[in-house]
Structure 1
Amino acid sequence: MAGFLIRASGLVAGYAAPVAGPLDFAVHRGEILGLAGPNGAGKSTLLKALWGGVRVFGGSVEKAPGLAISHQAQGFDDLRGIPLTGRELLRLTGATTDGLPAWLSGRIDERLDRLSGGQLQFLRLWACLAAPADLILLDEPTNNLDKAGVAFLSDWLGHAHAAQGIVIVSHDHSFIDQVCTRVVSVGEESPA
């Protein structure tokens, strides 16, 4: 494959102390890389290290020049009382509504705090997936999604554009097996 979008070499990452790694991998355009492993192995920490959200204790993260990253984190910010609509969220990330599933496109002008947990999760995903980015980082993207949401996401990822690379952390092994072109195992032991 031609040049990588991002490459981790001996990556050890954490917060006050190392919690994950060392790990080696590269992501190229057209690839969907899954980071798999048990709870507490540091998968989310390693994902955050790719965009600079945690401390790198060892190794390196190399990025292609001008790399644009879109990152979907786990969890929800408290949106009660914030008058932001779905369309405004997408506009903030530069995402388009093109391709948004019908069950959500009809609610795009509603305030985010009026959506169900699953609708909000999918809209947050879409804000990341449909944004202009070279590399998409997804942390537990199927959380709070119903079967229709997971099926739509799986289908979309199956037709992902060859111009992007995607890294996914998920506890849903069948989802990882279905959508990823390659899986890297993250061990459960912390580095010494």
Structure 2
Amino acid sequence: MSAALLRLEQVVAGWTAPATRPLDLLVDAGSIVGLCGANGAGKSTLLAAVAGRAQVFHGRLWKKPKIRCALQTQEAPPLAGLPLSGRELLALTGAAADGLPSWLADCLERRLDRLSGGQRHYLGLWAILNAPAELLLLDEPTNNLDAAGVAHLGAALRRRAGAGCGIVLVSHDPAFVAATCDRVCRLEAPDGR
């Protein structure tokens, strides 16, 4: 029997005003749920609401008590002049380098601002994927990744789910969603798009 980690009942979320249609969603331990829909449907806003960054205007958002969540956003932190290496980033998040693909493991001693956009993105994802959390919230995790990165990410997500982690991911990549997610929830924009 699965254990519920997250339950949304008719949740309407937003920042200063409601930005989503009501949504019901259940995420169990070990499951990967995809959120799909047009731009403006509120997918990222719903992830932010689950993480406590956006407001819930209506409905009920329940998380397992004392659950640890890790959120990956599309926002790229400014790195110019930041003398932080890939290994130091992983240490800050408590993530291990074990399992990193060789094309990224070989870059761990380099400063983040000297890595390519794809390398930085995947390293940031790896830090989230391996953070000590029971619920992962991923916003467009395949952005900036090549085919090898997407394949490695899918396998890493399956391993985390297999270890009992619940995962909610937003994606516009239908092939990735079909290959990775156990269930897909399609959101419609508040204006019906």
Which TM-score tier does this pair reach, normalised by the shorter chain? over 0.9
Task: Provide the rounded CA distance (Å) in 2 between the counterparts of 1:159 and 1:56.
Answer: 31
CA contact (8 A) 1:8 1:23 kept: yes
Gaps in structure 1 of 5+ consecutive residues: none
SS in 2 for 1:159: helix
Superposed CA RMSD in Å reads 1.3
SS in 2 for 1:62: strand
Letter in 2 for 1:187: E
Task: Provide the rounded CA distance (Å) in 1 between the counterparts of 2:69 and 2:16.
Answer: 25
Letter in 2 for 1:134: E
Residue 190 to residue 134, structure 1, CA distance change in 2 (3 Å): farther
Residue 177 to residue 87, structure 1, CA distance change in 2 (3 Å): same
Q: Residue 187 of structure 2 aligns with which residue?
A: 186
How many percent of aligned residue pairs carry the same amino acid?
52
CA contact (8 A) 2:129 2:157 kept: no
Q: TM-score, normalised by structure 1?
A: 0.95
Task: Provide the rounded CA distance (Å) in 1 between the counterparts of 2:73 and 2:183.
Answer: 21
Q: How many residues align?
A: 191
1:85 CA drift (Å): 0.8
SS in 1 for 2:123: helix
SS in 2 for 1:163: coil
Q: Residue 89 of structure 2 aligns with which residue?
A: 89
1:190 CA drift (Å): 4.9
Task: Provide the rounded CA distance (Å) in 2 between the counterparts of 1:22 and 1:162.
Answer: 31
Task: Provide the rounded CA distance (Å) in 1 between the counterparts of 2:93 and 2:85.
Answer: 13
Question: After TM superposition, where is structure 1 displaced by more than 3 Å over at least 4 residues in a row?
Answer: none
Residue 122 to residue 89, structure 1, CA distance change in 2 (3 Å): same
1:187 CA drift (Å): 1.1
Task: Provide the rounded CA distance (Å) in 1 between the counterparts of 2:71 and 2:138.
Answer: 6
SS in 1 for 2:12: strand
SS in 2 for 1:88: helix
1:2 CA drift (Å): 3.4
Q: Residue 134 of structure 1 aligns with which residue?
A: 134
- 1:94-152, CA deviations, whole angstroms, 9 ceiling, x for partnerless residues? 11111011100011111100000000000000000011110011000000111111111
- 1:152-190, CA deviations, whole angstroms, 9 ceiling, x for partnerless residues? 111222333331000000011111111000011111225
Letter in 1 for 2:115: L
Task: Provide the rounded CA distance (Å) in 1 between the counterparts of 2:150 and 2:126.
Answer: 13
Mapping 1:137-152, distance limit 5 Å: 137-152=137-152
Q: Residue 175 of structure 1 aligns with which residue?
A: 176
| 1:34 and 2:34 correspond | yes
Q: Residue 6 of structure 1 aligns with which residue?
A: 6
Gaps in structure 2 of 5+ consecutive residues: none
